[in-house]
Amino acid sequence: MRIAYVYDAVYPWIKGGAERRVYELSQRLARRGHDVHCYGARWWDGEREIKLGDVWHHGVCPPHPLYNKNKRSVKQALLFALGVLRNLEGGFDVIDCQEFPYLSCFSTRLRSGGASFFITWHEIWGDYWIEYLGVSGYLGMAVEKATATLTGNNIAVSEMTRRELLKLGAGSIVVPNGIDYSHIQSIRPADSEHDLVFAGRLISHKNLHMLLEAIALLSDVSLLIIGEGPEASRLHSLARSLGVDNRVRFSGFLKYEDTIALIKSSRAFVLPSTREGFGMAALEAMACGVPVVAVRHRMNAACDLLTPETGVISELSPASMADAIQAALDLSRKAGQKCREIASRYDWDVICGEIERVYAERV
């Protein structure tokens, strides 16, 4: 098959769940003999078209900051959508466009010709648009709903996203994100040990302030926070004011392999976020054999990955989180095998086989 992926952010120049999905699937499909192309902004130097691994990358517009004052840039979305309209070639059997930032889905639809047109949905914002943009959020909700009508070939990366798409009147098939399971297994545990680890961006919806308050309710429990973000300074101050700074360590950003090594040497992984379109960090922790604490919320797909044998689901409060953490620590000695067993089902090679079958059935 001749396959095109459309997404403005391109791995490895931009690192995130959607970017990693496009990279992993495109490279594996190409190695299986398919002719695969990726259309994104030109984040690299040099020619407009380059070959990265086994996949051709086409820069349809110059790079532009993805965010403006911590909000996704409308100007950038427009520039990319126009670039797709001008530069997306014909002759593809399959075109898979990532849903965000929406406008490119419309220009891709116009240029798709006879290709089977897919939209991959990483999350549905719904009424979160109002919290994000105020009154202007109603426009975001309308555009999101209109995007869901562009094709009958919607792919959801999680059961949560599938359920939310149904609320927009759109059916979908679930093809989840994945992990490099064998690579994770090859990494040795770190020498330093912590009871708990969090890894991710230090931003408001991760609810790390509540995690620190939960730590204050627990005695002799240590926490390692891996990552950077706009909440860092406030979290440092909060740890001091709660008197837990001697039990909480902030490492800043670390290499992927170092992060995995530290998760492996911990007793539990904590993801207090209320917004996860899939929950990649939770799945990677399970691949390390470590149980996970997640927060119950309709926008948190990480909860769908957990079973009573592999993790604990908390309510959004310090007291509930403290109880869940203690339960996960108690679970840690017997959770390893089941955690790894479930995580192995999400290896990227397995997911690649799933997406290949979905494409072939609809060409």
Q: Are residues 289 and 149 in the same domain?
A: no
Note the pLDDT of residue 17. 86
Per-residue pLDDT tens for 1-37?
Answer: 999 999 999 999 988 889 999 999 999 999 999 999 9
Q: Are residues 108 and 189 in the same domain?
A: no
Q: Are residues 245 and 163 in the same domain?
A: no
What is the rounded (10 degree) CA torsion for 347, 352, 357, 362? 130
Looking at residue 191, which CATH number applies to its domain? Answer: 3.40.50.2000
Q: Are residues 283 and 313 in the same domain?
A: yes
Token pair of 32 as six digits: 């299986």
Note the pLDDT of residue 325. 98
State how far the Cα of 232 lies from the Cα of 91, in Å rounded to an integer.
48
Residue 150 has pLDDT above 80, yes or no: yes
The helix (run of H) or strand (run of E) holding residue 124 is none
DSSP, res 246: T
Q: Are residues 165 and 301 in the same domain?
A: no
Q: Are residues 358 and 312 in the same domain?
A: no
Q: Are residues 40 and 135 in the same domain?
A: yes
Q: Are residues 353 and 282 in the same domain?
A: no
State how far the Cα of 190 lies from the Cα of 258, in Å rounded to an integer.
8
Q: Are residues 151 and 15 in the same domain?
A: yes
- Which are the contacts of 280, defined by CB distance < 8 A and separation ≥ 6? 17, 20, 177, 179
- Which are the contacts of 161, defined by CB distance < 8 A and separation ≥ 6? 121, 122, 123, 124, 172, 174, 277, 278, 301
Contact present, 347 and 179 (Cβ < 8 Å): yes
Alpha helices by DSSP H, listed for the chain, are 17-31, 74-87, 103-111, 128-133, 137-147, 159-167, 181-186, 208-216, 232-242, 256-264, 280-287, 318-344, 348-362
Report the percent of the chain where pLDDT is more than 70.
100
334: domain range?
181-344
Residue 131 has pLDDT above 90, yes or no: no
Q: Give the count of domains, the chain.
A: 2
Q: Are residues 230 and 274 in the same domain?
A: yes
Q: How many CA atoms lie within 13 A of 39 on its CB side?
A: 28
Q: Are residues 300 and 318 in the same domain?
A: yes
Q: Are residues 166 and 200 in the same domain?
A: no
Token pair 């950038």: residue: 76
